[in-house]
Copies of this chain bind each other. A is one copy, B any other.
């Protein structure tokens, strides 16, 4: 029989020595604080496991009173956009030990800056991810900078705005150009355009893509085919009813997002207009509806979850670099939505019933 050795419990000092790090670093790993590099965290955890070190729970409760959570700020009625935004940010929160507080708000509220300061202070948030349109409000951004609240913006822009504040930017204009070009190449000349909400910078960007494509292909703008509205199904429905009642109605309608395009599709159905043979419809977002509708919608794939993931990585990365005394990064990342062609767009019918419905004539393309 072996003699039983008295077992000395491993201490935090043993762990620190074997891992070659400071006591403070071991303590950070134990408390799951986010300011530790993944590789260091792994090394420390290996030694904790190897030594069977068990931290004293009462010591753990003495840790910093700071709550490790970030906030996600948005104002958007589009459920799928929001869920994908949350998914992307959450995936990064998970892997870095942060909680996520959500904060839908009214982007038009004059008290928004106060509201966000109170939110950050009361909930002790480490930083904010700002979705459009809040991310695109210069005054709000200034007040967050003054209040020293770390943030990352998700914005619509052709290129890095290089304004000194961190963002990920999405080139809506380029994708809207691709959609319009696709319709033109199918032979459409009278292409309706339904705007999204003006408070979103993506709205003029998408409009600009449409206008640029028409210009490049020598198709004159017809103001009657361009209607203001919001990023909603109802505005898509109403707008389409107006466009389809025109004497010389469009043969294609580009809705600024999939919700609008869904409204256009419903208006066409309710008017007994065949999609895509009498009317082509395109949206923007690649929402589940766009895949599940009949016909499925041609759209632009906006990788919201991926964009949100990159935004959260940048914010949390910056927070960790700051905690470790490292310099901040300055490069902003850009994304381009991709054209996705589905059944809702088709070549302009060469033999098309003119207004009134009687007879058939050849239409010059």
Q: Write the residues of chain A forming the contact surface with B, with a CB cutoff of 8 angstroms.
A: 32, 65, 67-69, 79-80, 82-83, 86-87, 90, 97, 99-104, 118-119, 122-124, 233, 262-263, 265-266, 269, 288-289, 292-294
Contacts and interface: CB of A to CB of B under 8 A. Distances in A.
A70 to B, nearest CB: 10
Given A288-B233, A292-B233, A90 B68 contact: no
This chain: copies in complex: 2
Given A79-B79, A100-B102, A101-B101, A122 B288 contact: no
Contact of A122 (B32, B82, B87, B101): B32
Contact of A99 (B119, B266, B294): B119
Given A122-B68, A124-B67, A288 B99 contact: no
A1 B354 CA distance: 85
Nearest to A289: B289
Contacts of A266: 292, 294
Contacts of A67: 67, 69, 122-124
Contacts of A69: 67, 69, 101, 123
Contact of A102 (B32, B86, B118, B233): B86
A117 B196 CA distance: 43
A65 B68 contact: no
A294 B294 contact: yes
* Residue of A32, A65, A122 with highest tally of chain B CB at under 10 A: A122
Contact of A292 (B32, B122, B124, B262): B262
26 contacts: A32-B122, A65-B65, A67-B69, A67-B123, A69-B101, A79-B83, A79-B288, A86-B104, A90-B104, A99-B101, A99-B103, A99-B123, A100-B101, A101-B101, A101-B102, A102-B102, A233-B288, A233-B292, A262-B292, A263-B292, A265-B294, A266-B294, A269-B294, A289-B292, A293-B293, A294-B294
